[in-house]
């Protein structure tokens, strides 16, 4: 093998790895994180965890990607450790599908259908169709399908290039001698582990072995230990991903490593015990691409079936290896932990948890709003302390969500995902401001208390009406965002207009009370400030509703300003009816008496 053959082989390897990368990325975009999201919901028992773990891994073509997502889900307290064990077992099975796709290159037949499905035919065919879809289609889904086909085309081309480049090795005695060394099971396992750890993909390392098998020099005796070692090497990715994670996330990565090491040791011992007592008739025969794919599957299915009854034991082993912190200092608030960087490998799934955290942020703001109004009725310092804790969490969430979404925006996102990132960045700002104005209300109540002043019963009653309206509009804003419900969002703007009318009326009435001396200055300014805060909260809720409507109708090109201009013109019959309903519900209760 000369210099130029070596360069060709490395170039083929580069194409193979790149093909796997863009194939996995394309599959992830098409799934939109739905497969990974379903992991959380469809893993209620060990058997379903194994089956679904295999399905997800077969779909995304990477056990490393699946296990990294699982580490993230465990770290976010979305998935339990025992559920994760089953998914990891299934991932080992699902990753073998790649080898069975690649084995088509080793099929030799003049039959048209078999020739058609060989990589030498599929590679250019997939590449042609993929390029056409990717470059000519405007629709995101078609572009993603084009990327998947391109990935397959590049992957197959890399495989063919590697196979052609290593063909001369068949005539080199040194190459045959090198692989005869790997018949030593320990050495074979170590080599398989190291190669896979370096490239961080068992599918890729098995593909390389399949390409080398085309020389006819690699025997079953040398291939079997290497394949077993490849299962251990693929554990490096989730181990790296678990650095800095919670105890259970570290245990999840350790389960992957422990399961694969124990499985390799047991299967290796059983294989060599059988060989040295009874003997495999094919032991020293050259192994084909199909033989490698078959052994890879048999090995992973066997050790999964073997360990399936001992999931609880595996859980206890890793819990013993990684003990809980007795002080509990490693436990963080679940709401913050959900924003896990490990989930960024699956943008669709990451966006789902961003959405949940944003909704939780809105609900904390609503809780603080309700508590702030109660402070005017009866000041409670413990209630104020809880509000400050909630506000601190809201601020943390805004900061972490913002940083997380910026990281996410650097990933390869679909057009819909990009719009969702933009919408969420705007909504978290609105929810944070609602929280701020609620704390302003609490400060007004505290100032009244310090000044030994009170609102009159009349003022409190009017404030209660406005507070009810604002409480309703906050609930609608949260609901419309959580469900992405345009119908709910459309009810927000007419309510906001009625709240503006109520606030203006109450301010005018309060100024009259100040003039005739029926209200003190000490109570007057906090009252006006509170009214302004409530009106501004309604404005931010209106913004949330508009964000939802424009996001859901983005393809129709609906602009935020055009929407607001249209509804305020009163041309919409639905808007007019809703406005009348809210007017009757709230404004009529404080309307000036003739």
Taking the C-alpha atoms of residue 288 and residue 91, their distance in angstroms, rounded to an integer, is: 24
Distance CA 2, CA 383 (A): 78
pLDDT of residue 328: 45
CB 463 within 8 A of CB 376: yes
SS3 328: coil
Predicted local confidence at residue 434, as pLDDT: 95
96 is written with which tokens? 């073998």
Rounded Cα gap, residues 232 and 112, in angstroms? 39
**CB burial of residue 207 (10 Å; 0-12, 13-18, 19+):** buried
Contact 463, 500 (CB under 8 A): no
Token pair of 585 as six digits: 């519900």
pLDDT at 361: 92
Check residue 110 and give its pLDDT. 62
What would the DSSP string read from start to end of 538-590?
Answer: HHHHHHHHHHHHHHHTGGGT--HHHHHHHHHTT--HHHHHHHHHHIIIIIHHH
Upper half-sphere CA count for residue 362 (Cβ side, 13 Å): 25
Identify whether the C-beta of residue 17 lies closer than 8 Å to the C-beta of residue 158. yes
Instruction: List the end-to-end C-alpha distance of the chain, in Å, as a whole number.
Output: 102
Structure tokens at 376: 């005017």
Do residues 544 and 480 make contact, with C-beta atoms less than 8 angstroms apart?
yes
- Tokens 């931010």 found at: 540
pLDDT, mean of each 10-residue run, the chain (594 residues): 73 76 67 58 74 79 74 73 86 84 64 65 83 80 81 77 67 60 84 82 78 81 89 83 75 89 92 90 87 91 91 88 60 51 78 88 94 88 88 88 90 84 93 94 86 77 92 95 91 92 87 68 77 94 91 63 62 81 90 58
Spatial contact of 44 and 190, defined as CB atoms under 8 Å apart:
no
Task: Kindly list the distances between the CA atom of residue 556 and the CA atoms of 101, 540, 549, 552, in Å, as whole numbers in the listed order.
Answer: 41, 24, 11, 9
Sequence-distant (≥ 6) Cβ neighbours of residue 377 within 8 angstroms = 460
Give residue 75's pLDDT.
72
* Distances 181 to 268, 295, 570 between C-alpha atoms, Å: 17, 20, 84
Strand partners, 286: 219
Taken in order 177, 182, 183, 184, is the CA torsion positive or negative?
positive
The domain 453-594 is placed in CATH, from the list 2.60.40.10, 1.20.58.220, 1.10.730.10, 1.10.3300.10, at 1.20.58.220
CA distance 162 to 388: 62
CA distance 510 to 207: 79
State the Cα–Cα distance between residues 254 and 261, nearest whole angstrom: 10
From start to end of 379-528, where are the E strands? none
Closest C-alpha among 383, 333, 415 to residue 141 = 415
Predicted local confidence at residue 333, as pLDDT:
44
As given in the structure block, the two tokens for residue 555 are 């393809």
How many Cβ atoms are within 10 Å of 561's Cβ, its own excluded? Answer: 9
User: How many Cβ atoms sit within 10 Å of the Cβ of residue 221?
Assistant: 22
Architecture, CATH, for domain 332-450: Up-down Bundle (1.20)
Residues 6+ apart with CB under 8 A from 481: 358, 359, 362, 427, 544, 547, 548
Total number of residues shown for the chain: 594
Q: Are 66 and 60 in contact (CB under 8 A)?
A: yes
Among 474, 396, 389, residue whose Cα is nearest residue 439 = 389
Contacts (Cβ under 8 Å, ≥6 apart) of 4: none
Domains of the chain by residue range? 3-321, 332-450, 453-594
How far is Cα 518 from Cα 516, in angstroms, rounded to an integer? 6
């Amino acid at each position: 093998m000369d210099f130029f053959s070596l360069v060709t082989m490395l170039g083929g390897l580069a194409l193979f790895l790149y093909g796997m990368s863009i194939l996995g990325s394309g599959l992830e975009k098409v799934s939109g994180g739905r497969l990974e999201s379903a992991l959380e919901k469809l893993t209620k028992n060990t058997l379903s965890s194994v089956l679904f773990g295999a399905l997800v891994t077969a779909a995304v073509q990477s056990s490393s990607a699946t296990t990294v997502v699982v580490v993230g889900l465990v770290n976010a307290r979305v998935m339990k450790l025992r559920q994760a064990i089953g998914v990891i077992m299934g991932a080992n099975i699902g990753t073998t599908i790649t080898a069975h796709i690649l084995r088509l290159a080793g099929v030799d037949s003049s039959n048209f259908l078999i020739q058609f499905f060989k990589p030498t035919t599929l590679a250019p065919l997939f590449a042609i169709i993929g390029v056409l879809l990717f470059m000519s289609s405007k629709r995101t889904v078609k572009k993603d399908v084009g990327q998947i086909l391109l990935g397959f085309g590049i992957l197959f081309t890399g495989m063919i290039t590697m196979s052609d480049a290593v063909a001369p090795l068949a005539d080199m005695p040194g190459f045959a001698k090198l692989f005869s060394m790997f018949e030593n099971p320990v050495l074979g396992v170590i080599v398989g582990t190291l190669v896979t750890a370096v490239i961080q993909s068992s599918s890729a390392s098995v593909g390389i072995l399949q390409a080398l098998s085309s020389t006819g020099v690699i025997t079953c005796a040398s291939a079997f230990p290497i394949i077993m070692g490849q299962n251990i090497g693929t554990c490096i990715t989730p181990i790296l991903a678990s650095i800095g994670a919670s105890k259970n996330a570290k245990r999840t990565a350790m389960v992957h490593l422990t399961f694969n090491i124990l499985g390799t040791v047991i299967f290796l011992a059983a294989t060599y015990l059988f060989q040295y007592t009874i003997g495999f008739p094919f032991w020293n025969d050259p192994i084909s691409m199909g033989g490698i794919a078959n052994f890879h599957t048999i090995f992973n299915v066997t050790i999964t079936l073997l360990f399936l009854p001992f999931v609880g034991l595996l859980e206890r082993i890793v819990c013993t290896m990684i003990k809980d912190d007795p002080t509990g200092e490693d436990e963080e608030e679940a709401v913050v932990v959900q924003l896990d960087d490990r989930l960024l490998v699956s943008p669709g799934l990451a966006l789902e948890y961003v959405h949940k955290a944003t909704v939780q942020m809105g609900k904390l703001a609503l809780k603080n709003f309700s508590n702030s109004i109660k402070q005017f009725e009866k000041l409670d310092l413990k209630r104020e302390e809880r509000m400050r804790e909630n506000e601190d969490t809201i601020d943390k969430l805004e900061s972490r969500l913002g940083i997380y979404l910026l990281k996410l925006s650097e990933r390869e996102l679909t057009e819909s995902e990009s719009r969702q990132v933009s919408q969420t960045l705007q909504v978290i700002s609105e929810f944070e401001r609602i929280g701020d104005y609620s704390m302003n209300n609490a400060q007004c109540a505290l100032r009244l208390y310090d000044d030994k002043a009170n609102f009159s019963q009349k003022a409190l009653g009017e404030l209660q009406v406005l507070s009810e309206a604002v409480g309703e509009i906050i609930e609608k804003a949260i609901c419309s965002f959580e469900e992405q419900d345009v119908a709910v969002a459309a009810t927000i703007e007419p309510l906001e207009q009625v709240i503006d009318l109520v606030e203006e009326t109450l301010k005018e009435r309060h100024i009259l009370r100040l003039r005739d001396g029926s209200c003190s200055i000490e109570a007057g300014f906090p009252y006006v400030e509170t009214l302004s805060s409530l009106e501004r909260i309604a404005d931010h809720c209106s913004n949330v509703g508009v964000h939802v409507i424009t996001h859901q109708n983005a393809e129709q090109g609906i602009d935020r300003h055009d929407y607001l201009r249209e509804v305020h013109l009163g041309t919409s019959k639905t808007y007019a009816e809703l406005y009348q309903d809210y007017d009757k519900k709230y404004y009529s209760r404080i309307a000036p008496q003739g």
